[in-house]
Amino acid sequence: MNEKRATTTHGIFERSARTYDLLNHLFSLNLDRRWRKVLVRFAGVESRGEVLDACCGTADLAIAFARRLPVRVMGVDFSENMLRVGRAKLRRRRLEGRIELLEGNVLQLPFADGRFDAAAVAFGLRNVTDRAEALVEMVRTLKPGAPLLVLEFSPPKLAFPGRLYRFYLGRIMPAVGGIVSGAPETYRYLHDSVLAFLRPEEVRHLMDGAGLQRVRVRRLGGGIVYLWRGIRAA
């Protein structure tokens, strides 16, 4: 079942890579850019070092890290088409020397234990077949005392604003996204994956179980998005 889900998800992102950035910024009213900047500030990484961007997609988070901090970023994603778009962005911004993008699986990261000064995953954890194992694997690559950050959509509540958001996710985004991208299944998947994702306290529980300490959470966008931060034990 997990293998079938992974194959389906991979195909969705391969097909939607060309218009992925445009529609993300459009549907979020550019708030996704702001949320990534909040993550970078919340990371608390000020010294030179290396950052892991897991499920990096088209490298927006990696670019946000490189623009704000004097760090090198390693991005990993399972979609070669998304990485191709990301590499083109790096060339335009002349960031190839500071950001490297690799095709790979977040459940089997190709890095040594204790390599990174920080790790992050933005809007990617809900796409992983085994979220607990993904967090454990990211923690493995961190230096003792280094932070892991997770930025992700949260299932909307059933009160009025949440019902309106559900309508937006379920009707407006698939309709517009399908016309622009030619891949409406991407935005149906977004709706389904957000509604099926974990509650904020459940993500915190997974981070505790992965060996992270002092896990903190911030509510963003009126509860549309949450940001978690934990520290690898020494």
Q: What is the pLDDT of residues 138-180, one digit of tens each?
A: 999 999 999 999 999 998 775 556 677 777 777 777 777 777 7
What pLDDT shows up at residue 159?
56
What pLDDT shows up at residue 3?
61
E strand spans, the chain: 50-54, 72-77, 99-103, 118-122, 147-153, 212-220, 225-232
* Distance, CA of 162 to CA of 146 (rounded, Å): 35
Q: Which CATH architecture has domain 2-155+199-232?
A: 3-Layer(aba) Sandwich (3.40)
* Distance, CA of 131 to CA of 127 (rounded, Å): 8
What pLDDT shows up at residue 187?
73
- Domain extents for the chain? 2-155+199-232
* Distance, CA of 216 to CA of 227 (rounded, Å): 8
